[in-house]
Amino acid sequence: MFRIFSYICRTMGKRLVLALGTNSGGEEKMMMAERELQKIFGRSVRFSNRLRTKPIDMECPDFINSVASTTTEWPLELIRSRLKEMEAFCGNSTEKRTLNIIEMDIDILMYGDRKFHRNDWQRPYIKQLLEESGIDSDTEQDK
């Protein structure tokens, strides 16, 4: 009976798609963020490959980016709060950001059928990472 309930909870959750990026600490920071996401969402969270990209509209070192996807029953505001805590845990701070040092940035691209950060969906590297994750950036519902 527990297995059936567990399966229903997993399949009824809302789709969550996250964009991760860092320009400080590289692979180590990405692994740290991935471990923290797995602690929160369990082993159902899936990660794309990591991709090195040039910064957009800022002077700083290259970024390492990836996309994570999972399903969750968590409310959006709780997810936002936990992601901010995770960014801080990875060393992110307002002071560093003013210096264009991004220890970890985690953006919610999709929650359920709602898209966020609409400009990011059009960026070639995001499209590539979404495609690797089996998410079609052109046909996903947009509300």
- Reference 111, options 83, 65, 75, 87; nearest CA is 75
Scored b (16 or more CB within 10 A) or e, 38-60 reads eebbeeebebbebbebeeeeeee
Residue 139 pLDDT class (50, 70, 90 cuts): low
Mean of the per-residue pLDDT values for the chain? 88
Instruction: Answer whether residue 30 shows pLDDT above 50.
Output: yes
Residue 137 pLDDT class (50, 70, 90 cuts): confident
End-to-end CA distance of the chain: 36
Query: In the prediction, which pLDDT does 32 show?
Result: 95
74 CB-contact burial (10 Å; exposed 0-12 / middle 13-18 / buried 19+): middle
Q: Pinpoint the alpha helices (H) of 25-75.
A: 26-41
pTM: 0.86
Distance in angstroms (rounded) separating the CA atoms of residues 55 and 13: 34
Residue 39 pLDDT class (50, 70, 90 cuts): very high
Instruction: Answer whether residue 89 shows pLDDT above 90.
Output: yes
